[in-house]
C-alpha cells in the first residue's frame, strides 16, 4: 500500500477520502454531502474561507471530475476500495459533531480547545453555546452536551454530570424546553435533563430549579408535543421521583393526571411502550408517599387506567406496583374495590397471566392483601380463595405464603391467628422500595444496543431493563 494519503484527496470537513468532490466559489473542494449538510444546518465550517456565509448565500457546487478520477486511480494503485459518496444523514452527523466543537464569540469562530485560553469554565463554555441565537447551533451544542452526559457515569469522567448540574445551566435548559420554537432544540434539552437526573445527587437540585412544571406541561401537551419529547419528559419524571424528597413537590405540581393519561395511551414515540413504562414507574415512586396515594386514588378514572394497564403485558408490572401501593391507604382500597381491581388481579393469577412465583405474582398478592385489610366489603368481592389457597399451600417464598394466608383469613372473615404470621408484614400492603430496588442496580449494567437514536438517553434505557423477579 502506498504511503500517506495526499491531503488534497481528503475532505476538510469529514476528514475522509472524497467520493463526490465538488468545488465551491472560493475554489476549495469538499465532499458534496458535507457542504450540503453545512448549508442545511446554516453552519460555515472553519475549513471554509470566513468570507463565505453558507447560510446567507449558499454557493453553487461544481463537480470536480478531475479530482474524482485522480482519487479513483490512487485507490486502485494502493489497493484501497474507491470511496463512496457520503449519505446525507451521515453528513449531517459529521457536521453536527463539528458544530459542537466550534462556536462564535462576538461573531468570531472559536474551537473548543481555545476556550481554556479564554479562562472559561466547562459550564460557561456550554452556556456560551446555548445562548447562540441560531437554533441549529443550539441543537448542536445540546447534542454535544448530551453525548458528554451520556458518557459520564455518576462519578466518572470527573463527575461531569454533577459539575454541569448548576443553577445557570438548568435555567438555560428550562428556557429552551419551554420557550424554543424549534422542536429539535426542545427534544435535545429534555434529553439533557434526563441525563443530568441519572446522578442521584442532582435530582433535588433539578426540582428546585423549577423544571418539573415544564416537564408536566410537555407531558400533558398531547398532540402539541412530539412523542420523543413526551418520552423524555416521562423519563425525567421517573428518574426525579426516585428521590424521596422530590415526591411531594412533583405530586403537588400536577404530574399525576398526565402520567395516568400517558400510561393509558397507546404505544408510540422512539421506543414503543417505553414512555408508558416510565409513566408507570413514576407513578409507583410517587405513590410511595401517602399524600400522593390519596392524590392518585382521587384522580378520575385512575383505577380504570391501572386495571387496563395491568391487562397489558408491556406495562403490567408498574401498574400492579401502583395498585399495591394504593391498597395501603383507605381511599386507595375503596377506589380499587369500586373499580373492579379485585376481580382484575385475581383474574390475572387465575389465567396464568402472571407466572407462578414471579415478582408480578408478589405484587398481585400485595395488592389483594392490602385491599383485604380492615375492609368488610372484600370478602364478598374477592372470590379469590382458589388462587390464594394455591399460593398459601404451595412451596414458594415465605412472604408470598404469609400474604396469601392473611388474605384468606380476611376473605373468610377470620382474623384470628395473625400473631403466628411474620410481624413485619404489617405494612406489606404498601409496595416498599425494598421490593423494587433490589433490581435497580442491575438496570445500570451496560449492554450493546447498536447506534442509539439521535436523542436517545442510553443510561436511562438501562434503568428500564428490570429483570423478571
Q: What is the pLDDT of residues 94-119, one digit of tens each?
A: 887 777 665 443 344 444 444 444 45
Give all strands (DSSP E) within 20-142, no chain letters: 21-23, 29-31, 62-63, 102-105, 108-111
DSSP states of 393-441: TSSS-HHHHHHHHHHHHHHHT--TTGGGS-GGGGGTTS--HHHHGGGTG
Hey, what's the cell of 449? 444496543
| Per-residue pLDDT at 352 | 87
- For 84, counting Cβ atoms within 10 Å of its Cβ (0-12 exposed, 13-18 middle, 19+ buried), the class is exposed
pTM exceeds 0.75: no
SS (H, E, C) 345-400: HHHHHHHCCCCCCCHHHHHHHHHHHHHHCCCCCHHHHHCCHHHHHHHHCCCCCHHH
| Per-residue pLDDT at 141 | 79
| Per-residue pLDDT at 469 | 39
pLDDT of 269 above 70: no
More reliable by pLDDT, 462 or 331: 331
CA 444 to CA 200: how far, in whole Å? Answer: 13
| Per-residue pLDDT at 413 | 59
Q: What is the pLDDT of residues 324-357, one digit of tens each?
A: 999 988 899 889 988 988 889 888 988 889 888 8
Span 368-372, mean pLDDT?
83
Span 71-78, mean pLDDT?
92
Give the pLDDT band (50/70/90) at residue 56.
low
- DSSP label at residue 453: P
| Per-residue pLDDT at 54 | 66
| Per-residue pLDDT at 158 | 42
CA 86 to chain centre: 31
Angstrom CA distances, 303 to 55, 260, 342, 365, 383, stand at 54, 10, 11, 17, 20
Q: Confirm if 129 and 86 have CB atoms less than 8 A apart.
A: no
Rg for the chain (alpha carbons), in Å? 28
Alpha helices in 151-226, H assignment, sequence order: 160-164, 167-179, 183-197, 203-208, 212-219
Least-confidence region, from 177-186, 260-269, 390-399, 421-430 = 421-430
Q: What is the pLDDT of residues 137-149, one digit of tens each?
A: 788 778 878 877 8
For residues 66, 72, 76, 80, the Cα torsion angle rounded to the nearest 10 degrees is 140
More reliable by pLDDT, 268 or 332: 332
More reliable by pLDDT, 212 or 55: 212
Tell me which CATH code domain 7-91 carries: 3.30.40.10
Domain ranges of the chain: 7-91, 104-206
Q: Confirm if 294 and 332 have CB atoms less than 8 A apart.
A: yes
Give 243's contacts (C-beta < 8 A, 6+ positions apart).
200, 203, 204, 207
More reliable by pLDDT, 300 or 155: 300
pLDDT of 84 above 90: yes
CA 291 to chain centre: 26
| Per-residue pLDDT at 459 | 46
Amino acid at each position: 500500500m502506498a504511503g500517506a494519503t495526499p491531503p488534497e484527496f481528503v475532505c476538510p470537513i469529514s476528514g475522509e477520502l472524497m467520493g463526490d468532490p465538488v468545488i465551491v466559489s472560493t475554489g476549495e473542494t469538499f465532499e458534496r454531502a458535507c457542504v450540503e449538510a453545512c448549508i442545511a444546518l446554516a453552519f460555515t465550517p472553519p475549513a471554509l474561507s470566513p468570507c463565505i456565509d453558507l447560510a446567507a448565500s449558499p454557493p453553487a457546487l461544481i463537480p470536480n471530475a478531475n479530482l474524482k478520477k485522480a482519487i479513483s486511480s490512487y485507490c486502485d494503485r494502493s489497493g484501497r476500495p474507491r470511496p463512496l459518496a457520503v449519505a446525507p444523514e451521515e453528513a449531517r452527523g459529521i457536521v453536527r459533531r463539528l458544530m459542537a466543537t466550534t462556536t462564535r464569540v462576538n461573531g468570531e469562530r472559536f474551537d473548543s480547545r481555545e476556550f481554556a485560553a479564554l479562562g472559561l469554565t466547562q459550564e460557561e463554555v456550554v452556556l456560551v453555546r446555548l445562548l447562540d441565537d441560531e437554533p441549529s447551533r443550539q441543537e448542536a451544542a445540546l447534542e454535544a452536551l448530551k453525548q458528554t452526559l451520556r458518557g459520564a457515569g455518576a462519578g466518572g469522567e470527573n463527575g461531569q454530570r454533577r459539575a454541569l448540574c448548576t443553577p445557570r445551566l438548568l435555567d438555560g435548559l428550562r428556557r429552551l424546553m419551554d420557550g424554543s420554537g424549534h422542536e429539535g432544540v426542545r427534544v435535545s434539552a429534555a434529553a439533557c435533563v434526563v441525563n443530568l437526573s441519572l446522578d442521584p445527587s442532582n435530582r433535588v437540585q433539578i426540582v428546585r430549579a423549577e423544571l418539573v412544571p415544564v416537564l408536566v406541561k410537555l407531558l400533558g401537551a398531547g398532540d402539541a408535543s412530539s412523542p420523543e419529547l413526551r418520552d423524555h419528559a416521562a423519563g425525567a419524571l421517573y428518574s426525579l421521583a426516585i428521590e424521596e424528597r422530590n415526591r411531594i413537590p412533583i405530586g403537588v405540581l400536577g404530574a399525576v393526571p398526565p402520567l395516568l393519561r400517558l400510561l393509558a395511551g397507546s404505544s408510540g414515540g422512539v421506543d414503543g411502550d417505553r414512555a408508558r413504562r416510565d409513566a408507570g414507574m413514576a407513578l409507583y415512586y410517587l405513590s410511595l408517599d401517602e399524600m400522593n396515594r390519596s392524590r392518585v386514588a382521587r384522580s378520575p378514572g385512575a383505577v380504570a387506567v391501572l386495571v387496563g394497564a395491568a391487562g397489558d403485558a408491556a406495562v403490567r408490572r408498574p401498574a400492579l406496583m401502583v395498585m399495591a401501593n394504593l391498597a395501603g391507604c383507605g381511599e386507595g382500597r375503596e377506589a380499587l374495590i369500586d373499580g373492579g381491581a379485585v376481580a382484575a388481579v385475581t383474574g390475572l393469577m387465575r389465567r396464568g397471566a402472571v407466572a407462578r412465583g414471579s415478582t408480578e405474582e408478589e405484587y398481585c398478592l400485595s395488592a389483594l392483601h392490602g385491599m383485604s385489610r380492615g375492609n368488610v366489603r372484600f370478602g364478598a368481592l374477592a372470590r379469590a380463595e382458589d388462587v390464594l389457597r394455591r399460593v398459601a399451600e404451595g412451596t414458594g417464598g415465605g412472604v408470598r405464603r404469609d400474604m396469601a394466608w392473611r388474605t384468606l383469613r380476611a376473605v373468610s372473615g377470620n382474623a384470628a391467628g395473625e400473631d403466628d404470621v411474620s410481624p413485619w408484614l404489617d405494612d406489606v400492603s404498601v409496595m416498599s422500595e425494598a421490593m423494587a430496588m433490589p433490581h435497580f442496580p442491575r438496570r445500570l449494567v451496560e449492554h450493546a444496543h447498536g447506534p442509539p437514536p439521535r436523542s436517545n438517553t442510553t443510561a436511562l434505557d438501562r434503568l428500564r431493563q428490570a429483570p423478571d423477579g
